[in-house]
Amino acid sequence: MRTQVAIIGAGPAGLLLSHLLAADGVESVVLETRSREYVAARIRAGLLESSTVDILAACGLDGRLREQGLEHRGIYLQWPEERHHLDFVDLVGRSVWVYGQTEVTRDLVAARDAVGQQFVYEISDTALHDLDSDRPYLTYVDVDGREQRLDADAIAGCDGSFGPSRKAIPSGVGQTWERAYPFAWFGILADVAPSTDELIYAWHPDGFALHSMRSESVSRLYLQVPPDTDPATWSDDQIWEALARRLGHGQNGWQLHPGPITDRSVLPMRSYVYEPMRYGRLFLAGDAAHIVPPTGAKGLNLAVADVALLAPALAAMINKGDHAAADSYSERALRRVWRCTHFSWWMTTMLHTHGDDFDAQLQKSQLQWVSSSAAGSAGLAENYAGLPISY
């Protein structure tokens, strides 16, 4: 088989890339180890910054988002006895949207299916070859156990943090930066109307908690827990009690309404950046090149921003033989990646406790400043609602 761009991974990065390339007249094949059903059902984060919404809108992918998504003007920052609203629209003129990554993925798959995008699901043994030539190719084993080869002008590594793309770059070429955090998030999905109109990020001596949502009838909540926590060892009552305490149930009459828990999982927290995001004809995008901790919900938004830069760069290279944008892709993408890496680290550090009393005082002082100073809150708002793609 031959195509112009071989895309490894049918996550948001790979799916949106295939969509943007098609709009520029570039053909692609999307390869995926998982099944179509698994990809469509995976539960991930659910907050879209304003430039992500702009990109989805520009390619006509915002229909269901506008109907079923929830537009939020800002967030609440909270610590015991205090809750402050930050209004991003007032502060920086941009809002954010609550719309699950699961839904974004479904919309993308439906749009690609409608125009006959080639997907190859349930592949194994993906291997990348001749990346430093202008005839790179992939080999893999298809669902029926047959060995296959796919030749391309370029390969897009959109295969998440555990995929083969980054590992195919010879050692010594790139550099990695990493930070592991000494805590994890215990996330639940519950069939209950959210007890808040906008997200609550709560600092608490017992640990961080977040009240998020997926719709008007489904809530998504998180608790800071030790990284080795087994989610099965917590009863539903224990989860709701911890959430109520940390989120300030009873404070100024506010109440957290519990409901049936339909999903639970523990997510590790780390920051990771690989540079450069290109090696020869291989281009990395999304989690394949960088991971952020979930505080601030930048993972999906960064994946979208990467491919918004990558698609026109590949189109210029393939359609016109113009390599300038492809050559500067890594540097341009990394500028934003490091900004979001810093913001995610900063939000994480401000909100998670780790048993150090001095640090706890600094965190509360920082929260107070961010909530009460125009400069402090505008800084958070600008980063949270998202910087322009060309940042």
Residues recognised as catalytic: 72, 201, 294, 298, 384
Positions 175 through 194 that interact with ligand PHB (CB under 6 A):
none
Rounded distance, CA 1 to CA 271, Å?
A: 37
Give the residue, chosen from 27, 40, 43, 44, that forms a contact with ligand APR under the rule CB under 6 A: 44
Tell the smallest beta-carbon distance from residue 296 to ligand PHB (Å). Answer: 5
**Binding of ligand APR at residue 299 (CB under 6 A)?**
yes
- Report in angstroms the alpha-carbon separations of 235 from 137, 210, 217: 50, 19, 22
Question: Amino acid identity of 285?
Answer: A
Site string for ligand PHB, 213-242 (x = CB under 6 A): -------x----------------------
Do 26 and 314 meet the contact criterion of CB atoms below 8 Å apart? yes
Rounded distance, CA 70 to CA 342, Å?
A: 27
**Binding of ligand PHB at residue 47 (CB under 6 A)?**
yes
**Binding of ligand PHB at residue 46 (CB under 6 A)?**
yes
What SS3 state is found at 215? Answer: coil
Which residue of the chain is nearest ligand PHB when measured via CB?
A: 212
In this structure, the number of other CB atoms found within 10 A of the CB of residue 228 comes to 7
Residue 36 dihedral angles phi and psi, to the nearest 5°: -55, -40
User: If contact means CB under 5 to 8 A according to the sort of partner, which of ligand APR, ligand PHB, none does residue 14 touch?
Assistant: ligand APR
User: If contact means CB under 5 to 8 A according to the sort of partner, which of ligand APR, ligand PHB, none does residue 163 touch?
Assistant: ligand APR
**Binding of ligand APR at residue 270 (CB under 6 A)?**
no
Rounded distance, CA 4 to CA 286, Å?
A: 20
**Binding of ligand PHB at residue 69 (CB under 6 A)?**
no
Q: Which is nearer to ligand PHB, 4 or 212 (CB)?
A: 212
Tell the smallest beta-carbon distance from residue 211 to ligand PHB (Å). Answer: 9
* E strand or H helix that includes residue 47: strand 47-48
Give the residue, chosen from 26, 45, 184, 282, that forms a contact with ligand APR under the rule CB under 6 A: 45
Q: Starting from the edge strand earliest in sequence, which strands make up the sheet with 219-225, in order?
A: 82-87, 74-79, 200-202, 209-213, 219-225, 175-190, 261-275, 290-291
Q: Which is nearer to ligand PHB, 45 or 380 (CB)?
A: 45
Give the residue, chosen from 3, 4, 117, 212, that forms a contact with ligand PHB under the rule CB under 6 A: 212
Tokens 């930048």 belong to residue: 298
Rounded distance, CA 126 to CA 340, Å?
A: 30
User: If contact means CB under 5 to 8 A according to the sort of partner, which of ligand PHB, ligand APR, none does residue 293 touch?
Assistant: none
- Point out which residues bind ligand PHB (CB under 6 A): 45-47, 199, 212, 220, 294-297
